């Protein structure tokens, strides 16, 4: 599930003022380090910028952070901020709280992902299907488009959505499984609706079945592999079983069950 991004910004801060601000917004108690530790389990903590520490040894821990010489706070606070927060490049502003000169911004989080894409014009649908199956073991999602390449040749474009950690492994897999000499990679941002997977029991044609269901604020959707299993057990057409499951799930949802 997606974690809410919490952005901390200030011109001047100390341990006491930061503790008060975090307590006011999140209703957490304890010393500053324990507060940060607790919040880091539930939120993606970010910083707009850090002050220059007086102790130059601390600078080694600040790689990736933007330093703002107009800001100030104690070295101890800088250490804790750098340990529990990450630098931020951009964000969408949600709710804003101000306390003790500190601004705490709850952001509508945009997820950083990479798109990997390649064109192939000398392969078969079976090879593409196999490659896609292998790639989806690591990728967030993948798509195949038909297009026209150079010299008017029909070709396919494989486009893959990946997180940064797995991107190079996926690119190598694309080159291994497909007749391509290279993969284009570029960054994108994605807004994703929070969702969770729960187990439900539905009654269909006089029998009860358990299946996984993806639930979000905007939709409720059965896991397709579970629908296939149920259709085979009932020996009924998959579209019929799928429609009936969705109807029953929506009926339960509308009745608050």
According to CATH, the topology of domain 111-190 is Alpha-Beta Plaits (3.30.70)
Per-residue confidence (pLDDT) for residue 257, from 0 to 100: 55
pTM over 0.85: no
Digit-coded pLDDT (tens) for 113-137: 899 999 998 899 999 999 999 999 9
pLDDT at site 251: 77
Domain with CATH 3.30.70.1380 in the chain: 111-190
What span, in angstroms and rounded, lies between the C-alpha atoms of 169 and 177? 12
Express each pLDDT in 205-243 by its tens digit: 888 999 999 887 778 889 999 999 999 999 999 999 999
Query: Dihedrals φ, ψ of 130, to 5°?
Result: -65, -45
Span 53-81, pLDDT tens digits? 888 788 777 877 888 888 999 999 999 99
Q: At 128, which helix (H) or strand (E)?
A: helix 125-135
């Amino acid at each position: 599930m997606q974690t809410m991004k919490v952005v901390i910004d200030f011109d001047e801060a100390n341990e006491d003022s930061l503790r008060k601000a975090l307590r006011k917004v999140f209703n957490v108690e304890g010393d500053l380090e324990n507060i940060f530790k607790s919040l880091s389990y539930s939120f993606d903590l970010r910083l707009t910028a850090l002050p220059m520490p007086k102790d130059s040894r601390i600078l080694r821990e600040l790689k990736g952070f933007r330093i703002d010489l107009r800001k100030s706070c104690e070295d101890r606070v800088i250490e804790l901020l750098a340990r529990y927060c990450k630098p931020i490049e951009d964000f969408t502003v949600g709710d804003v709280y101000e306390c003790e000169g500190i601004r705490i911004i709850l952001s509508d989080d945009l997820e950083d992902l990479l798109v990997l894409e390649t064109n192939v014009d000398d392969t078969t649908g079976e090879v593409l299907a196999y490659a896609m199956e292998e790639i989806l073991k690591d990728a967030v999602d993948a798509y195949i488009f038909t297009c026209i390449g150079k010299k008017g040749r029909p070709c396919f474009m494989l486009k893959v959505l990946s997180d940064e950690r797995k991107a190079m492994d996926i690119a190598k897999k694309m080159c291994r499984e497909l007749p391509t000499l290279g993969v284009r990679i570029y960054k994108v941002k994605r807004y994703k609706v929070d969702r969770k997977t729960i187990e439900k029991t539905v009654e269909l044609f006089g029998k009860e079945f358990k299946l996984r269901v993806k639930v979000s604020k905007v939709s409720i959707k059965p896991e397709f592999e579970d629908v296939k299993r149920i259709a085979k057990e009932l020996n009924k057409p998959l579209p019929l079983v799928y429609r009936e499951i969705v109807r029953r799930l929506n009926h339960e949802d509308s009745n608050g069950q």
